């Protein structure tokens, strides 16, 4: 070991810090070379140096904050030493090559533990390793336990040549890790480096540095393209889109940070930034034709006004968040607000807390909201609505956690939980002689597989529940991606004897053609049409039309969100069959519902 048996602490003054120490360290970090595995080319260079100069040891030494770390070491086993003992720390301070012919004759090194104990350095020559910006990162150095009489300019020039080869290799290694292989653009790691370097050296304009995140299309769009046309096509799509983007941004550095997201750093005025944004939007107004196929890109732009105010690692995270928010809100460009980060964090915590809720016996429960026949106010069934009481966060609205879970596969677990509990409840009421059909909400993802069908069939059988006691509610969005398959699955559910309802009808934007062939029994009119029915003239036109349309297609009609007696009367007058809403009853736990049912019967 290099430092064995030194026997005492090193007391001589270590090399002072160079003036550019902060930027120098940032540059060194930027090479991402510290603590990496040995590299064959680097080892060949140190081996060559050792034989060429006839020394025992040759090292590629990088001077880190408080250590020197050896990327390659010929003739030495130690991987690093403290910076306080480092000869190379003196070399980088001198900003030029350093030669010490005999350490015993040099006051700076005479008492250095590397001189007084193994490897007992007597001769040292180090050629600087300079970064592309001129920072001294360390040296390629020669070490020998015998002093030398001479190490002239010609020898030093040769050592410096080898040092240049080392730097070329380090650049190569860095670029390999810093380049996106599809587009050839710098990648996220490179962006992180640039941001890290900014922490040491701010730009010279004095203006804030903004980050623009440009999402060229949704991930689904790209994945569908891969599925339809293959990876090669998708890659040439990405290359061409990235070129178009770079052109719109005057060929300034653009980083590819996710499959579809690119980042551009902009140090300038808000007006200049707007101009860049306008150029990017303009660039993609026209469809982009790639191998004869036109792509009308749905780009989203997120803006982070000042990257220096947040940690580098948060830049990409925040941009992805604001891009998603912008997509959801339909706003482009969307500027980042701290509340977005908070929402994102909350969403993350909620989704990670959800699996615990499934395992706990009392966090999740079902409330039931009655549905009544308008003609005689009799209860014809209930809708099961999930409730989550978190031990710390309290009650969490399903409008929040269902919307989050719908973005992940967790929604299927929720649906499965609701199906199991609703069927058990239906069985309990059935056993006591009550006929209370329970409607269960589903999400688009539930129809991506046959799981829901299998689960429903198994649960009904296991608990001996007549299928007519369960209804399934699904929204138009379920039909969006693969209508034929969803239709088939809905039909299969119906064939079990389970009734099917189209939920929140009218809240989406889909065309009406799916109504012709959807195998449903019930249509639930979205509460946005019902809540202001009494005063809103447009709703007074739309609602009767929907009721008429639904009846013509053979559906019975439920109005959701009936909040007043008057609304219920109007709906009855319009021929609506059933109603649900606060005017009738709020969702309530099973025991309360039992009391409520006893009251109205
Ligand atoms: P939804 O399917 O439209 O359910 C009806 C929602 O409207 C319920 O909100 C209910 O409490 C509320 N509501 C009922 N009557 C009225 C009224 O007169 N006025 C107003 N303003 N609101 C009324 P909740 O329980 O907060 O559920 C919100 C949404 O969360 C539900 O909307 C549904 O989309 C979803 N959800 C709830 N439980 C489940 C579930 O078990 N599975 C799934 N996939 N989604 C669920
Ligand atoms: Ca519903």
List, for residues 226-281, the tens digit of each pLDDT value: 999 999 999 999 999 999 999 999 888 899 999 999 999 999 899 999 999 999 99
- The structural domains of the chain, ordered by start, are 2-178 (3.30.450.40), 188-336 (3.30.70.270), 354-600 (3.20.20.450)
Spatial distance between the Cα atoms of 276 and 211, rounded to a whole number of angstroms: 11
Burial 468-483 (b: 16+ CB within 10 A, else e): ebbbbbbbbbbbeeee
Whole-structure pTM over 0.75, yes or no?
no
| Cα 521 to ligand 2 centre (Å) | 14
Ligand 1: residue whose CA is nearest its atom 1: 504
**Residue 385 CA to ligand 1 centre (angstroms):** 6
Q: How far is CA 262 from CA 215, 258, 267, 336, 574, in A?
A: 6, 7, 17, 16, 54
Q: What would the two tokens of residue 570 be? A: 């109007």
| Beta-bridge partners for 440 | 384, 472
Mean pLDDT of the chain: 91
Location of structure tokens 């592309």: 132
Please check the confidence at residue 508 and state whether its pLDDT lies above 80: no
CA distances from 186 to 39, 194, 257, 341 (A): 23, 11, 9, 26
Edge-to-edge strand ranges of the sheet holding 98-100? 80-82, 67-74, 57-63, 136-144, 123-130, 98-100
CA 558 to centroid of ligand 1, rounded, Å:
14
Cα(138)–Cα(428) distance, rounded to whole angstroms?
Answer: 77
- Tell me what the mean pLDDT of segment 296-319 comes to: 89
Q: Which atom of ligand 1 is nearest to the CA of 503?
A: 2
- Classify 146 as helix, strand or coil: coil
| DSSP assignment string, 199-221 | HHS--SS-SPEEEEEEE-S-HHH
CA–CA distances in Å: residue 537 to residues 217, 509, 533, 565: 39, 21, 8, 18
Instruction: Say how far apart CA 88 and CA 93 lie, in whole Å.
Output: 8
Ligand sitting nearest the alpha carbon of 530? 1
Query: What is the band of 540 on the pLDDT scale with cuts at 50, 70, 90?
Result: very high
Longest alpha-carbon distance in the chain = 113
Burial (CB count <10 Å: 0-12, 13-18, 19+), residue 31 = buried
Average pLDDT on 45-66 reads: 97
* Token pair listed for 385: 């609505």
Q: What is the pLDDT of residue 205?
A: 67
Testing ligand 1's pocket by substitution, the residue of 367, 384, 385 carrying the most ligand atoms inside 8 A of its CB is 385
Q: Other CB atoms closer than 10 Å to residue 63's CB: what's the count?
A: 27
pLDDT at residue 600 greater than cutoff 50: no
On whether the CB atoms of residues 329 and 339 are closer than 8 A, the answer is no
DSSP string, 406-417: TTSTHHHHHHHH
Confidence of residue 599 (pLDDT cuts 50, 70, 90): very low
pLDDT at 560: 97
* Closest ligand to residue 386's CA: 1
Q: How confident is the model at residue 204, as a pLDDT?
A: 59
383 C-alpha to ligand 2 centroid (Å): 7
CA of 597 to the centre of ligand 1 (A): 20
Atom of ligand 1 nearest to the CA of 583: 18
Strands (E), 350-452: 364-373, 379-390, 394-396, 438-441
Q: Tens digit of pLDDT for each residue in 279-297? A: 999 999 999 999 999 999 9
pLDDT in tens, 11-27: 456 788 998 898 898 88
pLDDT above 90 covers a percentage of the chain that reads 73
Using the predicted structure, report yes or no on whether residue 491 has a pLDDT greater than 90: yes
Nearest ligand 1 atom, CA 587: 11
For 171-230, write each residue's pLDDT tens digit.
998 888 888 989 989 999 889 888 887 766 665 567 889 999 999 999 889 999 999 999
**pLDDT digits over 403-426, tens only?**
989 988 899 999 999 999 999 999
User: In angstroms, rounded to a whole number, what is the distance separating the alpha carbons of residues 403 and 443?
Assistant: 10
When pLDDT is cut at 50, 70 and 90, the band that residue 509 belongs to is low
Ligand 1 atom index nearest CA of 384 = 41
* Residue 409: per-residue pLDDT: 87
Closest ligand to residue 371's CA: 1
Residues 6+ apart with CB under 8 A from 198: 209, 307, 308, 312
* Distance of CA 327 from the midpoint of ligand 2 (Å): 25
What are the tokens at 428? 């309990």
Atom 46 of ligand 1, residue of closest alpha carbon: 441
Q: Which range (33-42, 494-503, 578-587) has the least confidence?
A: 33-42
Cα of 454 vs centre of ligand 1, distance in Å, is: 25
Residue whose pair of structure tokens reads 């978190």 in the numeric block: 390
Handedness of CA 35, 40, 45, 46 (dihedral sign): positive
Query: Of the ligands numbered here, which is closest to the C-alpha atom of 369?
Result: 1
Q: Is the pLDDT of residue 140 over 90?
A: yes
Cα(162) to centroid of ligand 2, in Å? 73
Query: What pLDDT score was predicted for residue 14?
Result: 76
Q: What is the mean pLDDT of residues 49-77?
A: 96
Atom of ligand 1 nearest to the CA of 440: 41
Average pLDDT over residues 82-97: 91
User: 238, 254 in Cβ contact below 8 A?
Assistant: no
3-state secondary structure of 5: coil
- Pairing verdict, β 470-475 and 499-505: parallel
Is a pLDDT exceeding 80 seen at residue 453? yes
Enumerate residues lining ligand 1, CB below 6 A: 369, 384-386, 397-399, 402, 414-415, 418, 441-443, 503-504, 527, 560-563, 580-582, 587
| Closest listed ligand to the CA of 477 | 1
Q: How far is the CA of 449 from the centre of ligand 1 (A)?
A: 24
521-551 in b/e form (b: 16+ CB < 10 A) is: ebbbbbbebbbbbeeeeebeeebbebbeebe
> What are 324's two structure tokens?
């998603």
Cα–ligand 2 centroid distance for 441 (angstroms) = 5
Q: Which residues face 187 on adjacent strands?
A: 256
Nearest atom in ligand 1 to the alpha carbon of residue 563 is 18
pLDDT in tens, 542-573: 999 999 999 999 999 999 999 999 999 999 99
Q: Assign 314 a pLDDT band (cuts: 50, 70, 90).
A: confident
Note the pLDDT of residue 265. 94
Q: Which ligand is nearest to the CA of 406?
A: 1
**What is the structure's pLDDT at 290?**
93
Q: How confident is the model at residue 30 (pLDDT cuts 50, 70, 90)?
A: confident
pLDDT grade for 387, boundaries at 50, 70 and 90: very high
Query: Which residues are CB-contacts of 520 (< 8 A; sequence separation ≥ 6)?
Result: 490, 494, 500, 501, 502, 555
Confidence of residue 338 (pLDDT cuts 50, 70, 90): confident
Report the alpha-carbon angle 303-309-310, nearest 5.
Answer: 80
CB of 440 closer than 8 Å to CB of 472:
yes
Q: Which of 384, 396, 398 to mutate to test the pocket of ligand 1 (most atoms within 8 A of CB)?
A: 398
- The confidence score (pLDDT) of residue 476 equals 85
CA-closest residue to ligand 1 atom 23: 561
Which pLDDT band, with edges at 50, 70 and 90, does 364 fall under? very high
Mean pLDDT throughout 126-138? 93
Contact between 147 and 123 (Cβ < 8 Å): yes
Spacing, Cα 55 to ligand 2 middle (Å): 81
> 3-state DSSP helix/strand/coil percent for the chain, to nearest 5?
45, 20, 35
d(CA 34, CA 63): 10
Give 193 Cα–ligand 2 centroid separation in angstroms.
49
Rounding to the nearest 10 degrees, give the CA dihedral for residues 425, 430, 435, 440: 30
Spell out the residues 6+ positions from residue 583 whose beta carbon is closer than 8 angstroms to its own. Answer: 562, 563, 564, 565, 567, 568
- Looking at residue 5, its pLDDT comes to 33
* pLDDT given at position 9: 42
- Contacts of 452-459 with CB under 8 Å at 24 or more apart are 452/412, 452/415, 452/416, 452/419, 452/489, 452/493, 453/489, 453/492, 453/493, 453/496, 455/416, 455/419, 455/420, 456/419, 456/423, 456/493, 456/496, 456/498, 457/496, 459/419, 459/420, 459/423
Listed residue (378, 273, 260, 268) closest to 319, CA to CA: 260
- Residue closest via CA to ligand 1's atom 10 equals 587
With beta carbons less than 8 A apart as the criterion, state whether 561 and 530 touch.
Answer: yes
Residue for token pair 């480092």: 86
* CA-wise closest residue to 14 among 61, 55, 50, 66: 66
- Pocket residue to mutate for ligand 1, from 397, 409, 420, 441, most atoms within 8 A of Cβ: 441
């Amino acid at each position: 070991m290099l430092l064995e048996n030194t026997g005492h602490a090193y007391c001589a003054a270590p090399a002072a810090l160079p003036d550019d120490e902060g930027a120098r360290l940032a540059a060194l970090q930027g090479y991402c070379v510290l603590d990496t595995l040995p590299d064959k080319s680097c080892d060949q260079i140190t081996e060559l140096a050792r034989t060429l100069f006839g020394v025992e040891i040759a090292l590629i030494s990088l001077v880190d904050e408080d250590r020197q770390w050896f990327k390659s070491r010929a003739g030495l086993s130690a991987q690093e030493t403290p910076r306080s003992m480092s000869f190379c720390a003196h070399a980088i301070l001198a900003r030029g090559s350093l030669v010490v012919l005999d350490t015993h004759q040099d006051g700076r090194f005479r008492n250095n533990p590397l001189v007084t104990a193994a490897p007992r350095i007597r001769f040292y020559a180090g050629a600087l390793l300079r970064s592309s910006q001129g920072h001294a990162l360390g040296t390629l150095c020669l070490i020998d336990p015998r002093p030398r009489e001479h190490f002239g300019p010609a020898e030093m020039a040769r050592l410096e040549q080898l040092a240049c080869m080392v730097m070329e290799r380090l650049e190569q290694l860095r670029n390999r890790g810093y380049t996106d292989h599809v587009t050839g653009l710098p990648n996220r790691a490179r962006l992180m480096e640039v941001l890290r370097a900014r922490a040491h050296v701010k730009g010279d304009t004095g203006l804030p540095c903004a980050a623009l995140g440009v999402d060229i299309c949704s991930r689904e769009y790209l994945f569908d393209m891969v599925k339809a046309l293959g990876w090669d096509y998708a890659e040439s799509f990405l290359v061409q889109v990235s070129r178009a983007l770079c052109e719109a941004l005057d060929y300034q550095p653009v980083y590819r940070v996710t499959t579809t997201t690119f980042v551009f750093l902009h140090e300038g005025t808000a007006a200049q930034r707007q101009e860049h944004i306008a150029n990017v939007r303009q660039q993609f107004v026209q469809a982009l034709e790639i191998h004869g196929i036109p792509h009308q890109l749905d780009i989203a732009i997120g803006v982070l006004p000042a990257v220096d105010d947040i940690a580098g690692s948060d830049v990409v995270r925040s941009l992805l968040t604001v891009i998603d928010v912008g997509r959801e809100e339909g706003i482009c460009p969307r500027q980042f607000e701290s509340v977005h980060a908070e929402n994102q964090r909350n969403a993350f915590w909620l989704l990670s807390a959800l699996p615990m809720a499934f395992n706990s016996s009392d966090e999740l429960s079902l409330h039931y909201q009655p549905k009544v026949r308008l003609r005689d106010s009799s209860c014809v069934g209930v809708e099961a609505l999930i409730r989550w009481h978190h031990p710390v966060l309290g009650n969490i609205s399903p409008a929040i956690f269902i919307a989050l879970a719908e973005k992940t596969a967790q929604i299927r677990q929720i649906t499965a939980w609701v199906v199991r509990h609703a069927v058990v409840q239906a069985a309990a009421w059935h056993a006591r002689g009550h006929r209370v059909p329970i409607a269960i909400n589903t999400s688009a993802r539930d129809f991506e597989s046959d799981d829901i069908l299998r689960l429903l069939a198994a649960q009904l059988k296991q608990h001996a529940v007549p299928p007519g006691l369960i209804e399934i509610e699904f929204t138009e969005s379920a039909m969006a991606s693969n209508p034929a398959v969803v239709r088939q699955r809905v039909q299969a559910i119906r064939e079990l004897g389970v009734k099917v309802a189209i939920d929140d009808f009218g809240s989406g934007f889909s065309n009406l053609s799916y109504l012709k062939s959807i195998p449903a029994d019930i249509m639930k009119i979205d509460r946005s049409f019902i809540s202001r029915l009494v005063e809103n003239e447009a709703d007074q036109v739309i609602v009767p039309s929907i009721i008429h349309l639904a009846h013509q297609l053979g559906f019975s009609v439920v109005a959701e969100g009936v909040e007043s007696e008057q609304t219920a009367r109007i709906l009855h007058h319009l021929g609506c069959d059933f109603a649900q809403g606060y005017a009738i009853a709020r969702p309530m736990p099973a025991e309360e519902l039992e009391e409520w049912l006893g009251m109205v019967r």
